[in-house]
């Protein structure tokens, strides 16, 4: 079982978007029994408020016909490092925050989603930009490239 954790700042926009986009790709490829997919945030304020997916994320997922379920924000925990094979952040700040929590990435599990693409860069946070379309297409590109990476590595 390949266990993937997508991580952003608040776990209401980018990381749940990646979780559900990647889940759809995995399901469409007939690989759902090979994956466990989740998401988390580096900050706990949305978890404390029991926040769900941002309405902008809900709208773009609905528009693009990506199935999603109710999801409540949660903060990444130190034990997630041992549980997940891949911890995939959306930007450099997320990576730094993850490393501050878990310490040294001794197993090389932490990466950024767009590192798997031909144009590595951060995924902008639509909470600040308001551009959920741009974020969606970056997430799709990253998830497709990550799945191709896993196939090339012979993991699926």
Q: What residues act catalytically? A: 8, 14, 125
Q: Are 122 and 92 in contact (CB under 8 A)?
A: yes
Residue 35's H or E segment, with its range, is strand 35-41
Q: Which one, of 80, 86, 79, lies nearest residue 107 by Cα? A: 86
């Amino acid at each position: 079982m390949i266990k993937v954790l997508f991580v952003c700042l608040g776990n209401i926009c980018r990381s749940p978007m990646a979780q559900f986009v990647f889940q759809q790709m995995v399901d469409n490829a007939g690989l759902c029994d090979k994956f466990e997919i989740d998401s988390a945030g580096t900050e706990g304020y949305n978890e404390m408020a029991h926040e769900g997916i941002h309405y902008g994320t809900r709208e773009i997922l609905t528009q693009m016909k990506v199935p999603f379920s109710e999801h409540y924000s949660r903060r990444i925990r130190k034990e997630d490092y041992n549980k997940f094979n891949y911890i995939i952040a959306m930007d450099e700040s997320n990576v730094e925050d993850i490393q501050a929590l878990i310490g040294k990435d001794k197993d090389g599990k932490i990466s950024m989603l767009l590192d798997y693409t031909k144009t590595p860069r951060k995924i902008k946070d639509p909470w600040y930009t308001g551009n959920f379309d741009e974020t969606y297409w970056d997430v799709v590109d990253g998830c497709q490239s990550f799945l191709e990476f896993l196939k090339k590595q012979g993991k699926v």
